[in-house]
Amino acid sequence: MKILNVDQIRALDEATIRHEPIAPINLMERAALAFVDWFVDRFPDTTSTKIFCGLGNNGGDGMAIARLLLERNYPIEVNVVRYAPRESDDCMHNHRRLKLVTENIRYIEFSRDIPAIRHNEVIIDAILGTGLSRPTEGIVKEVIGAINRAPATVVAVDIASGLYTDQANAPTDVIIEPDYTVTFQLPKLAFVLPKNGRYVGEWHTVDIRLYKRYIDLAPTPYYYTQPQEARLLLRKRERYSNKGTFGHALLLVGSHGKMGAAVLSARACLRSGVGLLTVQVPRCGYGIIQTSVPEAMCLPDGHQNVLTGSSEIEGPPPSEYSSIGIGPGIGKAPETLAMLKTLLPTLKKPIVVDADALNLLSENRELLSKLPKNSILTPHPKEFERLTKKWDDDYQKLELLREFVKTYNVVVVLKGAYSAIATPEGDIHFNSTGNPGLSTGGTGDVLTGILTALLAQGYDPVEAAVLGVFAHGLAGDRVAEERGPIGMIASDVIDALRWT
C-alpha cells in the first residue's frame, strides 16, 4: 500500500472529484460515513460524546460526523473552535445542515468557553487535519491541551490535530494525543515514525473509494506492507523439489559467551525453509551447535573463542554457499575483523549483515564499499546511527537511510516499530507486523536466520527483506496473542513462524 504526501493527497481528492465525478460535499459525506461506520462498530454503546470541530474540511468532516451520529441516537455535544473568521465552503455547508438537526452547538473563542470533559466520555477530534500549515497556537492550542489533560477516550479524524502529515513537528508543538486515529484511505507517513507514537495511538484506515488509478500512478518512495502483499511474495514449494532446490546457507555466528545468538539464528534459518545449513562457530561452540541444532552441519573455527574464518575441517569456500549470514554473537575481536576484511572481497552474492558485524563495519568504514551488491544490513537505530550520524528527527533519519542505501547499493532493515526496509533505489517499505514484546534479546538473531534462509532459496533481497521482516513480526504477534508480549522470548518467535 502506498503512502502519499500531503500534496498528493490533495490532488487525489481532486482527481476523485473530477473523475467519478462526485461533488466535494458528497465526498465529505462519504468520508464522514466511513468514519461513523468505524465509530459505531468500536463504540456500540451510545456513550456521551463530545466532538470538537475546526473551520476547514477536517472540521466539515466533524460536523457531518456529528449529524450522522445524532441520527444514530448518540448523545453528541458539538464544539466549534472559532480560531478564524471564515469556514471552508464544505464546512459551512455541513455547519448549516447540522444546525437543522441540533441546537446543541457551542462555540469556543476564549478559554472560558472550553467545556469540562468528564470521565468515560468519548472525544472526537476534528479540529485540524492534513491542512495543518503551522504550529497550533492561541485557542486551538488551549483546546488541544484541555483534551489531552482530560480522562477521556480520544479519536482523531484523519490525523491528530497539530500533527504534520509528512514533516517534522517541533518538540514544543501542542498536538492531540489520541487513543485512536481513523484515517481516510491511506496511512500517513507520520503514523509509522517512532517519535509520533503518542500522537497517533492505534490507527485504522477506512476506505472512501478515492480514485484508484491516481494512487496506482502516483510516484512515492514510501510503502506500507499489508498482509496480502506479503503473502504474494511467498513462493510455493514444488512437489518435485529436493533439499538442493532451497539452497545451502552458511551462518558465521557466535563467540565465547554468545553462543545463544548462534543457536537462535541457526534454528530460525532452518525454520524458514533453507535446504541445508552450515554453521561456522568458534571451537567452543562446536558441541553446542551439534546438540542443540542437530539439523545443521557445524564447521568449528580454528580459534577457541572467536571467529577467524579458518576452519579446522576442510569445507567449500564461503563464496560457494547460496547465502551467508554474519554477525549474531560474533563480538569485535581483531581476528574477527581480519576475517571480515578477507572474506568480503571474495563474495559475489548478497549476504546478511547483523549485530557486531555491523559495528565492525562502522568502525572500519572502508569495508562498506566491499559489501556484495544488494546485501541486507539489519541495524537497530543505535547501530544505524554508528553507520551514519545522529539525526535530529525521524524525517532526517529517513533521508539518511535513503542516502545510505543508494551510496552502498544495499538493502537496510532499520529495526523497530514499523521496521523500515530501504531498497538500493531509495524506496522505503514500512512493516505492519510486530509488537513491543519483540524488544528482547535474540529476536534480531532470529531475523538474521530468516533472511539468510530466504536468500539461500533465491528470493530477491528486497523481497526477502520485506517478506522476512513481515513473517518475523507476525510470529511475534502470534506469541503476544497467546502469552502476552511481556513473557515473550526469541525462541517463541522461531516456534511461531508459519510460512503459509
Ligand X SMILES: NC(=O)C1=CN([C@@H]2O[C@H](COP(=O)(O)OP(=O)(O)OC[C@H]3O[C@@H](n4cnc5c(N)ncnc54)[C@H](O)[C@@H]3O)[C@@H](O)[C@H]2O)[C@H](O)CC1
Residue range at the interface with ligand X (CB under 6 A); choices 26-34, 69-77, 145-153, 450-458: 26-34
Residue 13 binds ligand X (CB under 6 A): yes
Q: Which of residues 368-407 bind K ion (CB under 5 A)?
A: none
415 marked among binding-site residues = yes
Cα–Cα distance measured from residue 449 to residue 58, given in angstroms and rounded to the nearest whole number: 46
Cα–Cα distance measured from residue 171 to residue 483, given in angstroms and rounded to the nearest whole number: 36
Q: Write the interaction track for ligand X spanning residues 132-161; mark x where CB under 6 A is met and - where it is not.
A: xxxxx---x----------------xx---
Q: Which three cell numbers stand for residue 221?
A: 518512495
**Strand arrangement, sheet containing 180-184:** 105-108, 76-81, 49-53, 122-126, 153-157, 180-184, 202-206
Q: Which three cell numbers stand for residue 416?
A: 523497530
Residue 5 binds ligand X (CB under 6 A): no
> Peptide bond before 21: cis, by omega within 30 degrees of 0?
yes
Among 22, 25, 82, 131, which residue interacts with ligand X (rule: CB under 6 A)?
Answer: 131
Those residues whose C-beta lies under 8 Å from the C-beta of residue 11, and which sit 6 or more positions away, are: 214
Closer residue to ligand X (CB): 173 or 301:
173
358-366 long-range contacts (CB < 8 A, ≥24 apart) are: 358/327, 358/383, 358/386, 358/387, 359/332, 359/383, 359/386, 360/332, 360/336, 361/387, 362/386, 362/387, 363/332, 364/337, 364/340
58 marked among binding-site residues = yes
Those residues whose C-beta lies under 8 Å from the C-beta of residue 86, and which sit 6 or more positions away, are: 55
Cα–Cα distance measured from residue 447 to residue 415, given in angstroms and rounded to the nearest whole number: 10
Residue 128 binds ligand X (CB under 6 A): yes
Residue 9 binds ligand X (CB under 6 A): yes
Burial class (CB in 10 A: 0-12, 13-18, 19+), 23: exposed
89, 62 contact by CB (below 8 A):
no
* Cβ neighbours, 10 Å, residue 345: 9
Among 3, 31, 351, 367, which residue interacts with ligand X (rule: CB under 6 A)?
Answer: 31
- What φ, ψ does residue 44 adopt, rounded to 5°? -65, -25
31 interface partner picked from ligand X, K ion, none, CB below 5 to 8 A per type: ligand X
Q: Measured from the CB of residue 6, what is the shortest distance to ligand X in angstroms?
A: 9
Residue 161 binds K ion (CB under 5 A): yes
134 marked among binding-site residues = yes
Residue range at the interface with K ion (CB under 5 A); choices 11-19, 123-131, 227-235, 484-492: 123-131
H helix or E strand, kind and range, residue 325: strand 323-326
125 interface partner picked from ligand X, K ion, none, CB below 5 to 8 A per type: K ion
Cα–Cα distance measured from residue 431 to residue 223, given in angstroms and rounded to the nearest whole number: 9
Among 29, 87, 121, 125, which residue interacts with K ion (rule: CB under 5 A)?
Answer: 125
135 marked among binding-site residues = yes
Residue 81 binds K ion (CB under 5 A): no
444 marked among binding-site residues = yes
Q: Measured from the CB of residue 84, what is the shortest distance to ligand X in angstroms?
A: 6
Residue range at the interface with K ion (CB under 5 A); choices 50-58, 77-85, 199-207, 303-311: 50-58
* Cβ neighbours, 10 Å, residue 132: 24
Closer residue to ligand X (CB): 7 or 399:
7
What are the Cα distances from residue 295, in Å, to 210, 268, 279?
A: 51, 12, 10
129 marked among binding-site residues = yes
Of 448, 457, 447, 456, the C-alpha closest to 236 is: 457
434 marked among binding-site residues = no
Among 3, 4, 27, 78, which residue interacts with ligand X (rule: CB under 6 A)?
Answer: 27
CA 297 to chain CA mean position, Å: 35
How many residues bind ligand X (CB under 6 A)? The answer is: 28
Among 39, 52, 74, 83, which residue interacts with ligand X (rule: CB under 6 A)?
Answer: 83
Cα–Cα distance measured from residue 500 to residue 234, given in angstroms and rounded to the nearest whole number: 8
133 marked among binding-site residues = yes
Cα–Cα distance measured from residue 320 to residue 318, given in angstroms and rounded to the nearest whole number: 5
Among 157, 269, 270, 296, which residue interacts with K ion (rule: CB under 5 A)?
Answer: 157
Largest separation between any pair of C-alpha atoms in the chain: 86
Q: Measured from the CB of residue 127, what is the shortest distance to ligand X in angstroms?
A: 8
130 interface partner picked from ligand X, K ion, none, CB below 5 to 8 A per type: ligand X
Residue range at the interface with K ion (CB under 5 A); choices 122-130, 178-186, 257-265, 331-339: 122-130
Q: Which of residues 37-66 bind ligand X (CB under 6 A)?
A: 54, 56-61
401 interface partner picked from ligand X, K ion, none, CB below 5 to 8 A per type: none
134 interface partner picked from ligand X, K ion, none, CB below 5 to 8 A per type: ligand X
419 marked among binding-site residues = yes
Chain residue at closest Cβ approach to K ion: 161
186 marked among binding-site residues = no
How many residues bind K ion (CB under 5 A)? The answer is: 5
* Cβ neighbours, 10 Å, residue 131: 16
Question: Regarding beta strands 420-422 and 411-414, do their DSSP bridges make them parallel or antiparallel, or are they unpaired?
Answer: antiparallel
Binding residues for AMP: 415-419, 444
Binding residues: 57-61, 125, 129-135, 158, 161, 261, 329, 380, 415-419, 444-445
Binding residues for (6S)-NADPHX: 57-61, 129-135, 158, 261, 329, 380, 445
Binding site for ligand X (CB under 6 A): 9, 13, 27-28, 31, 54, 56-61, 83, 88, 128-136, 140, 157-158, 184, 210
